[in-house]
Structure 1
């Protein structure tokens, strides 16, 4: 069994445990996801073009067949680029051209995205 490699995508002041997924929208192959930051008046907005497939898992329970050995996963990060995941292996034969697997993990949810484009991630202020 191969080891899934998690490569973190750092976002200043944002961790898996201080964020909540607040919205997900797919529009003509472009995915928009907003994450609220529990202890700051900020949100993280993720935009990913050329989405091939995505899934949202509430309660953070990954399917048993995907409980693979892994390296690089930390509660200190929200966003990751993955290599060697079962989710990607299942869909890669149906994808034309280069694509990558991105995973966004909060304390209570997991958003997986296979896309031909890298995510655009930015923090935005929220009026309180």
Structure 2
């Protein structure tokens, strides 16, 4: 290797240049061989290789299928218009069993939805839910439909990954279910399958 060259070989230090130099820098220079006569402005260079790379940039279409929400309608077995429905009651029973009942088109009956397993539940008014992500496309969303399985929603992806991993190992993979009415809506993240049961209104009186 070629020896490193000092830029100012003829410069002789008077010592005053060191007055405003950082102490760490001064000590580093003192540790150099033949410190006497060196200036803090002495600079050494090592060979530098400069490499110019050419790269090709290719524009590709963004696959949005894994980013945006997708609604998958569910058949609940009874006629129910979302805008005319509402949450009637909700209970979280012993043994991790979640039960919710909703009004249906028939005033003499209610729809009971049961999840028998660990759940994360959100109950929210329709207005904040419908304006939560206004720019997202509503793929699969059907007018007046009530029950869905949802993929890619922020509510599901923001839940504890540790919880979902543990539950997946112990019970099974989790899914996100959403029930939409004109008033109160419900989100459920759970490995349990929803069970839909039509019951008489007086049963819940």
Aligned to 2:199: 124
Q: Could you tell me which runs of 5 or more consecutive residues in structure 2 were left unpaired when the two chains were aligned.
A: 1-63
CA offsets, 1:29-54, max 9 Å, x none?
A: 21100112255311000001213311
TM-score by length of 2: 0.56
Match of 1:82 in 2: 150
CA contact (8 A) 1:17 1:107 kept: yes
Q: Which has the larger radius of gyration?
A: 2
Secondary structure of the corresponding residue to residue 88 of structure 1: helix
Question: How many angstroms apart in 2 are the aligned matches of 1:105 and 1:87?
Answer: 14
In structure 2, how many angstroms separate the alpha carbons of the residues matched to 1:53 and 1:87? 10
The answer on 1:8 being equivalent to 2:73 is: yes
- Secondary structure of 1:60's counterpart equals helix
The one of the two structures with greater contact order (alpha-carbon pairs below 8 A, sep at least 6) is 1
In the comparison of the two structures, how many residue pairs are matched? Answer: 127
TM-score (norm 1): 0.86
Q: Secondary structure at the match of 1:62?
A: helix
Superposed CA RMSD in Å reads 2.0
* CA distance in 2: counterparts of 1:63 and 1:9, whole angstroms: 19
Counterpart Cα distance in 2 of 1:116 and 1:124: 24
Instruction: Call closer, same or farther: CA 1:65–1:40 in 2, change over 3 Å.
Output: closer
1:17 equivalent among 83, 91, 108: 83
Against the structure 1 CA distance between its residues 18 and 65, is the aligned structure 2 distance closer, same or farther, given a 3 Å change threshold? closer
> Contact 1:20/1:38 (CA < 8 Å) preserved in 2?
no
Whether 1:34 and 2:109 are equivalent positions in the alignment is no
Unaligned runs of 5+ residues in structure 1 are none
What do residues 50-109 of structure 1 show as CA deviations (whole Å, max 9, x unaligned)? 133111002431286544323111232111101111111111513121100000111112
